Chains A and B, each alone.
Chain A
Amino acid sequence: DAGVIQSPRHEVTEMGQEVTLRCKPISGHNSLFWYRQTMMRGLELLIYFNNNVPIDDSGMPEDRFSAKMPNASFSTLKIQPSEPRDSAVYFCASSFSGGSTDTQYFGPGTRLTVL
């Protein structure tokens, strides 16, 4: 299994530009999570989906952030317009929910720098 795949691995953009981060979860998993990690705030949940439906988006900072999961094998996190304070590492994770446990498996992350 290839694990959770994220792209791009690194993104450098200028303030005001649109940024789209992509995630392919592990095949067969039905829950997908977007986390953000910064030095100040650590790892924090942004949003998660179950069966392609958003379940909890309370961690999404503001309207500039949006996430979609059009099908079971793909999700995007979009920031428009981007700001320097959005600079962070963004992780995608997936799990199978419905069994005895639902261990989350993380991708390698996307390091975003907004200048």
Chain B
Amino acid sequence: DAKTTQPTSMDCAEGRAANLPCNHSTISGNEYVYWYRQIHSQGPQYIIHGLKNNETNEMASLIITEDRKSSTLILPHATLRDTAVYYCIVRVGHSNSGYALNFGKGTSLLVTP
């Protein structure tokens, strides 16, 4: 799996957009970018994933650069409940026999009132 680099921590004001960057300069052509988050004392939660096109769902948007060496997760209107550790993970898109996740240290996002 390609290695990812994320800032250790970030702050964001409630109601503003939270932009969480991730570098993955060694990503391979068949590897996807996945984002999970972990709210305190809960299990990790899937947010979004993408290969090369930008993706959007009800939780967030994922912007992947054209060279695919970096990406940004965008929470358009952050709320206090978005305070969590956000993990950027690079892995193959799917496997018939399953594929484990390498979580790394993630970015601790603090949303403030």
Contacts and interface: CB of A to CB of B under 8 A. Distances in A.
Given A91-B43, A107-B43, A108-B43, A102 B98 contact: yes
B49 A101 contact: yes
A12 B20 CA distance: 37
A55 B43 contact: no
A98 interface: yes
Contacts of B99: 97, 102
Interface string B4-15: 000000000000
A115 to B, nearest CB: 21
Contacts of A93: 43-44
User: B interface, by DSSP: helix, strand, loop or mixed?
Assistant: loop
A49 to B, nearest CB: 8
A42 B104 contact: yes
A99 B89 CA distance: 19
Interface residues on B, range: 20 to 34
Interface residues of A, number: 29
Given A42-B103, A42-B104, A42-B105, A104 B46 contact: yes
A98 to B, nearest CB: 5
Contact of B98 (A55, A106, A109): A55
Interface of B: 32, 38, 41-46, 49, 87, 93-105
Interface of A: 4, 30-31, 33, 42-45, 48-50, 55-56, 91, 93, 95, 97-109
